[in-house]
């Protein structure tokens, strides 16, 4: 795919949704960090249902740490992998209190050192809480990037590196949200809704669907 096409793809996604953001509910970097940890292999809707009850009770590292693993589990038990997530969140809160004055660090190395935080989670927090032009490649972005030809790659790291190289600077900050939302609602896994897609004529996918 050439640069002109990439530019047009993002111009159209931007025209459709000028201010894209995450569908996770949060009001502080800490709330976002915990929501993203909880969202691994779970839906944003499911995470929001849990955090909508948890955050009014506990939304700081100290308050969640004070709940303890069992106390936290009672709020998140509807979310997949809640046992290991509860343990990771409590350990993360302890590290934030001990090493970062209770604040979420604004740097990749410190974020990735937190239990339950990998590259994707760090990218989401750096982008959405701190305004860095990172791109967190999840299953949706991986699929959309490969189908459209925006950034073809065999694994998420390859796609991330290509997107970072090729997404026009103007669009890099929001690219991650545009591509996730496009994958979640239009370029869906089983049967992409090509007939409703604003970038259909720019997309290289060979097996487009009518609806």
Q: State in angstroms the smallest separation of the CB of 116 from ligand SF4.
A: 31
Q: Are 204 and 211 in contact (CB under 8 A)?
A: no
Q: State in angstroms the smallest separation of the CB of 87 from ligand SF4.
A: 38
Smaller CB distance to ligand SF4: residue 37 or 150?
150
197 annotated as ligand-binding = yes
Q: State in angstroms the smallest separation of the CB of 198 from ligand SF4.
A: 8
Q: State in angstroms the smallest separation of the CB of 4 from ligand SF4.
A: 17
Smaller CB distance to ligand SF4: residue 1 or 42?
1
Q: State in angstroms the smallest separation of the CB of 183 from ligand SF4.
A: 8
Smaller CB distance to ligand SF4: residue 162 or 193?
193
Catalytic residue at 152? no
Q: Which residues bind ligand SF4 (CB under 6 A)?
A: 147-148, 186-187, 192-194, 197, 199-200, 203, 205, 208
CA distances, 18 to each of 15, 39, 183, 191 (Å): 6, 25, 17, 26
Smaller CB distance to ligand SF4: residue 70 or 201?
201
Rounded to whole angstroms, how far apart are CA atoms 185 and 151?
20
Smaller CB distance to ligand SF4: residue 147 or 172?
147
**Catalytically annotated residue among 120, 169, 174, 206:** 120
Catalytic residue at 120? yes
93 annotated as ligand-binding = no
Rounded to whole angstroms, how far apart are CA atoms 124 and 134?
7
**Catalytically annotated residue among 49, 77, 91, 138:** 138
Q: Are 103 and 96 in contact (CB under 8 A)?
A: yes
Binding site residue list for [4Fe-4S] cluster:
187, 194, 197, 203
Catalytic residues, by residue number, are 120, 138
Binding residues: 187, 194, 197, 203
């Amino acid at each position: 795919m050439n640069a002109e096409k990439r530019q047009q793809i993002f111009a159209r996604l931007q025209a459709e949704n000028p201010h894209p953001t995450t569908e996770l509910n949060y009001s502080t970097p800490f709330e976002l960090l915990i929501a993203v940890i909880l969202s691994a292999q779970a839906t944003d809707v499911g995470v929001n249902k849990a955090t909508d009850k948890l955050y009014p009770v506990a939304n700081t590292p100290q308050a969640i740490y004070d709940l303890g693993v069992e106390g936290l589990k009672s709020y998140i038990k509807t979310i997949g992998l809640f046992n290991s997530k509860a343990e990771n969140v409590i350990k993360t809160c302890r590290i934030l209190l001990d090493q970062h004055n209770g604040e979420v660090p604004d740097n990749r190395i410190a974020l990735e050192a937190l239990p339950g935080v990998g590259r994707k989670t760090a990218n989401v927090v750096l982008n959405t809480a701190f305004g860095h032009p990172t791109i967190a490649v999840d299953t949706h972005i991986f699929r959309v990037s490969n189908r459209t030809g925006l950034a073809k790659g065999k694994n998420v790291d390859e796609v991330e590196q290509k997107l970072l190289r090729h997404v026009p600077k103007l669009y890099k900050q929001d690219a991650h949200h545009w591509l996730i939302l496009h994958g979640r609602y239009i370029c869906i896994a089983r049967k992409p809704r090509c007939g409703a897609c604003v970038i259909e004529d720019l997309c290289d996918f060979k097996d487009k669907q009518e609806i």
